[in-house]
Amino acid sequence: MSPTCPALPPNAYAEGMPIHGSMTFQRLVQIIAWICFAVTAVLCIGLSSLHFRRYRSPNEQRNVFRIIIFPVVACLVSVVCIHTYHASNYIAPIASLYEAVALVALYLLYVHYVAPEPRSRADVFQRLIYTTKKGESKPGQGYSLLRSSWRVLFTYLVVYFILVIATEITLAIGVYCETSNKPHFAHVWIQAFELIATITALVTIFRFQRTLKHHMSGRKALPKLVIFKLFVIIVTVQRFVFSIIGGHVKGSDKITYSDVTIGLQSLLVCLEALVTQIAFFFCFSPKEFSGIGHQSDKEGVALGPLAALCHALNPKDLVVGLGQAYGLVEL
C-alpha cells in the first residue's frame, strides 16, 4: 500500500482572524514585505544605474549585475508568495533557480579577477603558482583548480534546474507532499539535495577564493563572498527548516498554517534581502570602474547605459560556460 500524504490543516489557505482591529497577520506581513521590496528595488536600481554609467569592464560588471539583483528577485518572489499562499510552492522555486545563477556569477567574477581576458584564461591559470597551507608551491595546479571548480559550479546550476523541474512535476502529480518528512515523498529528497548542492557550491567558491586570494587583492573578494554567502546560507537553511516545520505546524484562528510556513518565511527573506542589498552598496561599489587606469575589457571605454543593460542580460556566457564545464567548448 502506498503511503498517504497527510492533509493540510482545514484553515491552511484561509485568511486568519484579525490580530488587531481589521488587520490580519497575512495583511500585516504583506505591508511589511512590500515596504522591504520597494526599498530593496530602489537600492538595486540605483546601484545598477551607477554601474551602467561606468560600464567599462563588461565581462566583470555583467556578473556584478547578476549578483546585485538577486536580493530583488528573492524579495519579489517572496512578496508574490505572500499574496498567493495556494500557489507559493510553484512560485518559490524561481528564486531558488536564480540563486544558483547568482552563485555561479560570483564564481565567474572571481575567475575574472585572476584572468580578466577569457581568451588567455587557460594560459594564465596554467602559469599560475599558488602556495598551500603547508607552504608548498603548486606550479601547474592552477588550471586543474579552474577546471574542477568550473565543473562543480556549472553542475550545481544544472542540478538546481533539474530540482526545480522535479519540484513542479511532483507538485503537479501529488507526490511532493509538503506536510510530510517521510522518504516516501519527493519533498524531503528535493530539499535535502538542494541543501547539499548549495553547500558544495559555496565550499568550492570559498576554497577557490582562499587559494587564489593573493591574485584578487584590492577587489574586496572576501567581503563579497561573506555577504553573499551569509544570505544564501541563511535562506537555504531557513527553507530547509521551514520545510521540516511544515509537517508539525497546525496554525490557529489568527495565525494560520500558511501564515507560518509561507508568510513568515517569505517575510524573513524580504528582510534579509533588504539588509543584503544595503551591504552590496559597499561590496560592489561602482567607484572602482571610474578611474581611467582600471583594467577593463574595452580599454577604458564605457558602453552606453542601454547597451550595458542589454549586455548584462545576455546569458550567452552562461551557456558557453556550461559547454566548457563538460568539454564541449574549450575552456
Break the chain down into helix, strand, coil percent, rounded to 5.
70, 0, 30
Its pTM stands at 0.89
Q: What is the pLDDT of residue 16?
A: 80
Average pLDDT of the segment spanning 114-128: 88
Q: Report, at the CATH architecture level, how domain 25-325 is classified.
A: Up-down Bundle (1.20)
How does residue 265 score in pLDDT terms, banded at 50, 70 and 90? very high
DSSP 8-class letter at 256: -
Q: What is the pLDDT of residue 132?
A: 62
DSSP 8-class letter at 23: B
In 96-109, which positions are buried (b, 16+ CB within 10 angstroms) versus exposed (e)? Answer: bbbbbbbbbbbbbb
Q: What is the pLDDT of residue 45?
A: 96
Domain limits, the chain:
25-325
How does residue 1 score in pLDDT terms, banded at 50, 70 and 90? low
How does residue 128 score in pLDDT terms, banded at 50, 70 and 90? confident
Rounded CA gap, 51 and 212, in Å? 26
The tens digit of pLDDT for each residue in 52-100 reads: 988 988 999 999 999 999 999 999 999 999 999 989 999 999 999 999 9
The tens digit of pLDDT for each residue in 295-304 reads: 444 444 567 8
Rounded CA gap, 269 and 66, in Å? 18
Which one, of 282, 276, 234, lies nearest residue 71 by Cα?
A: 276
What does the mean pLDDT of the chain come to?
88
> Collapsing DSSP states into helix, strand and coil, what is residue 235?
helix
